[in-house]
Chain A
């Protein structure tokens, strides 16, 4: 007896119409099979065609998208040849969708309940009063407490996680046989992500709904899916049972993905890291001794390059009534020490105050109270020349690779700017230095005359690092510097940062929401929650023996963290 698969893609080709004659292929010959009740994950980096494939299934390709070949069989019926109204009938009632961005996928002018009701009415599941009651049930089922009241609220009254729950309720409203979840939790904090995915797992198991899960996170996919499909440049390069693929990747691209996924690889990377660490400390000591030799009066350079004492930042927000104000403590009494030549990671979820902390350390924001000491000198007391001197020693690398470089400046101008501001060298010397810096961050010097818009996110981040290094700083403050990048590129940049630390004896303050990354790069960890430091210890202590519940929760939530790779 052969079981008919719920969904079968056979050699699917999808392209985007560039102009009247040309079609740019986005998916080339993708095949996959989903059986009833299964969870199948499509994994790939941005631009791999994973979302395009998913959207082709429910005929929701954006404007210029066309299916150019192959078959999409849903319960044995080819829906690429089906009529519009037949597909319309499939949507919602047979195939549900949980979209990627919970922030933009709810209509802000409608109450959440009404939007779910719309799904029920459109699919002919329920009407009127019955539908209202069903909405509350569905929201409850999606794990939203106090559902009856919540259904009458507007999307802006919901947090990101709650919105995603509402969208899940909507996707499951008509009890579809297949739920397509397109990066459903990528925009959410890890702990919320875990909650929502756990709940989704339970729910789909209970209802027997098959899930096609689209994600860029291999760890997440392996943890949640039975069957894995790895896509690369529009083609399926490898597929098979999730653990099999993970444990013995065959295609070189899958191998690459597995070795770069921070959640899976961090444990193995530590050994390589130890070597680099030792070198770094050695170099740092050398530099310290050099400094001592050069400037006799300085004596020994302090062991801690940055020390913060009881750093606090209070923002005054506008209150509900005109003229009234509310104090919001973004950073609350934070003290830490950054040892020279090492990396301290500050970890926390959104709103934990970690970026505010970084801005205060950088002297871009005035603390409400407390001090930041750089080499035992309070940074706020420095003015004019001295302040400029401090700026030289401490450089930032920001999160958004699209906003951190001036789009009107060429790469050359961007990297030259810090040297020009500080009047360093002649034009010739600066050019030599820029070539050298580009070489350090593994970019060809031929890109000097190009502009940021012509580079990828990872390449721009490299340029940002080169710019930060132009002044030979001692400390680099990375504010979510790798968060916006694809895993492979992220791994590349992390390796680069590691190498540079070893080579130049840099100290990093590394701000991130991703604990998995921390393991790869940090020596000390500061866990922040709601402006306060809840745990502060060395990396091994935090990972092997976390003291606080919150830290444990964060560690638990690392996707794929529970998977043991028998290497």
Chain B
């Protein structure tokens, strides 16, 4: 209990002090800044993204890549499939900036057109894995019980098998059954083989995020309003659990592109008549061994590395922009 100190006994420095009102003008309790512009979480993330140099670097790479995919004709007039053995390993000349490969195909044209196959595999696999992962993860996390046990154990099994090794096995089996494959059939086989073993990562992440979100109070509030469980899941829980999945998906897009190239390099990915970076790298194997005409390896390899770098950088930038710690609260 305080002593009954009164003003007269106050010690120096502890006299009664009242600040003049004009120095700290009183504001309304809990005042609202009416002038502020509404900003959703996604808009806010976009605002942060715009400020990140990392994002612009990746955006530039991806933009150039997109242009190459849609209009490869802007950069070359040469047909990538046109080969003339007499041109084998001929040095660069006008219209053929990087010369020719062993079969006499134009290195630059093949690299430009090869982007299509690589990126197609990457994008389609990512979308497939994301959809499967989000659905299974959301079900496991939300409903729990035996559904969760089955999905979680299944994903453990698939996660324990190395992605590339498993894809090699699956594709070799399918290739034996389907010796003649067109472009899209071949892409589908690679996509399914990769997707089959890549979904558990997203599933796990989604499951964790859903487990976290489903216990937040706004979910209870929605239930108390009368929303059904399914409505709750679709309208509140899944959207709020998506951020980490988006980041992982962006990064894994690059990884799938590498995986496709690796498979093609081994002669398992896309058939050799399809123009792709993996196939060109596979063809360049001899040059790597002999150390001559290395340009046939460097050009597609650089394109591949830049593409993967672009998506990984984008993933990093998005991760930072979506980071809940950076969000104003």
- A interface residue numbers (CB < 8 A to B): 2-3, 5, 8, 31-33, 35, 222-227, 232-233, 235-245, 250-253, 256, 359, 362, 364, 387-388, 391-392, 394-396, 398-400, 402-408, 410, 417-418, 421-422, 443-444, 446-447, 449-451, 453-456, 458-459, 464, 467, 471, 488-489, 492, 562
Q: How far is the CA of A562 from the CA of B2 in the complex (A)?
A: 12
Q: Besides the contacts A2-B12, A488-B29, what 10 more A-B pairs have beta carbons closer than 8 Å? A: A226-B5, A237-B18, A239-B17, A240-B17, A244-B16, A253-B26, A404-B218, A406-B218, A418-B225, A489-B30
Residue numbers in A under 8 Å from B16 (CB-CB): 239-241, 244-245, 250
Contact B225 A391 (CB under 8 A): yes
Q: Which of B5, B12, B40, B225 has the most CB of A within 10 A?
A: B225
Contact B224 A453 (CB under 8 A): no
Known: A3-B11, A238-B17, A402-B329. A444 touches B32 (CB 8 A): yes
Contact B24 A235 (CB under 8 A): yes
Q: Would you mind naming 27 contact pairs between A and B with Cβ atoms under 8 Å apart?
A: A33-B12, A237-B24, A241-B6, A242-B5, A244-B16, A245-B16, A250-B18, A251-B19, A364-B224, A391-B226, A394-B224, A395-B225, A396-B220, A398-B217, A400-B217, A405-B218, A405-B221, A410-B40, A417-B227, A418-B225, A422-B226, A444-B32, A444-B34, A450-B39, A453-B329, A455-B32, A488-B30
Chain A to chain B: the 4 pairs with minimum beta-carbon distance, closest first: A33-B13, A240-B16, A391-B226, A449-B38
Contact B11 A33 (CB under 8 A): yes
> What is the chain B residue whose CB lies nearest that of A7?
B13
CB distance from A378 to the nearest CB of B (A): 18
Q: Which of B1-26 contact A (CB under 8 A)?
A: 1-7, 10-19, 21, 23-24, 26
Residue numbers in A under 8 Å from B226 (CB-CB): 387-388, 391-392, 418, 421-422
> What is the chain B residue whose CB lies nearest that of A241?
B5
Q: How far is the CA of A226 from the CA of B216 in the complex (A)?
A: 42
Contact A489 B3 (CB under 8 A): no
Residue numbers in A under 8 Å from B225 (CB-CB): 391, 395, 417-418, 421-422, 467, 471
Contact of B18 among A251, A454, A456 (CB under 8 A): A251
Known: A3-B11, A241-B10, A418-B225. A454 touches B41 (CB 8 A): no
Q: How far is the CA of A453 from the CA of B26 in the complex (A)?
A: 25
Contact of B221 among A236, A238, A404, A450 (CB under 8 A): A404
Known: A33-B11, A225-B2. A454 touches B17 (CB 8 A): no
Majority secondary structure of chain B interface residues (helix, strand, loop or mixed): loop
Contact A453 B220 (CB under 8 A): no
Contact A241 B7 (CB under 8 A): yes
Q: Which of B3, B222, B224 has the most CB of A within 10 A?
A: B224
> What is the chain A residue whose CB lies nearest that of B228?
A421
Contact A251 B2 (CB under 8 A): no
Residue numbers in B under 8 Å from A256 (CB-CB): 26, 29
Contact B39 A451 (CB under 8 A): yes
CB distance from A237 to the nearest CB of B (A): 4
Residue numbers in B under 8 Å from A489 (CB-CB): 29-30
> Is the C-beta of B44 less than 8 angstroms from some C-beta in chain A?
yes
Residue numbers in A under 8 Å from B26 (CB-CB): 232, 252-253, 256
Q: Which of B214-257 contact A (CB under 8 A)?
A: 216-218, 220-227, 231, 236, 239-240
Q: How far is the CA of A344 from the CA of B27 in the complex (A)?
A: 34
Contact of B41 among A223, A400, A408 (CB under 8 A): A408
Residue numbers in B under 8 Å from A250 (CB-CB): 16, 18
Residue numbers in B under 8 Å from A232 (CB-CB): 24, 26
Contact A408 B239 (CB under 8 A): yes
> What is the chain B residue whose CB lies nearest that of A365?
B220
Residue numbers in A under 8 Å from B216 (CB-CB): 403
Contact B217 A236 (CB under 8 A): no
Residue numbers in B under 8 Å from A447 (CB-CB): 32, 34, 38
> Is the C-beta of B173 less than 8 angstroms from some C-beta in chain A?
no
Contact B38 A451 (CB under 8 A): yes
Q: How far is the CA of A362 from the CA of B12 in the complex (A)?
A: 58
Residue numbers in A under 8 Å from B240 (CB-CB): 406-408
Q: How far is the CA of A252 from the CA of B25 in the complex (A)?
A: 9
Q: Which of A2, A225, A407, A467 has the most CB of B within 10 A?
A: A407
> Is the C-beta of B327 less than 8 angstroms from some C-beta in chain A?
yes
Contact A233 B2 (CB under 8 A): no
Q: How far is the CA of A459 from the CA of B15 in the complex (A)?
A: 38
Q: How far is the CA of A454 from the CA of B17 in the complex (A)?
A: 36
Residue numbers in B under 8 Å from A395 (CB-CB): 224-225
Q: How far is the CA of A253 from the CA of B27 in the complex (A)?
A: 9
Contact A464 B221 (CB under 8 A): yes
Q: How far is the CA of A198 from the CA of B34 in the complex (A)?
A: 45
> Is the C-beta of B36 less than 8 angstroms from some C-beta in chain A?
yes
Contact A243 B224 (CB under 8 A): no
Residue numbers in B under 8 Å from A364 (CB-CB): 220, 223-224
Q: How far is the CA of A456 from the CA of B27 in the complex (A)?
A: 15
Contact B24 A227 (CB under 8 A): no
Q: How far is the CA of A492 from the CA of B329 in the complex (A)?
A: 21
Contact B18 A238 (CB under 8 A): yes
> What is the chain B residue whose CB lies nearest that of A448?
B38
Q: How far is the CA of A285 from the CA of B10 in the complex (A)?
A: 57
> What is the chain A residue whose CB lies nearest that of B27?
A233
Contact B12 A467 (CB under 8 A): no
Contact B34 A403 (CB under 8 A): no
Contact B32 A443 (CB under 8 A): yes
Q: How far is the CA of A262 from the CA of B41 in the complex (A)?
A: 36
Contact A5 B13 (CB under 8 A): yes
Contact digits for B44-87, partner A, Cβ 8 Å, 1 yes 0 no: 10000000000000000000000000000000000000000000
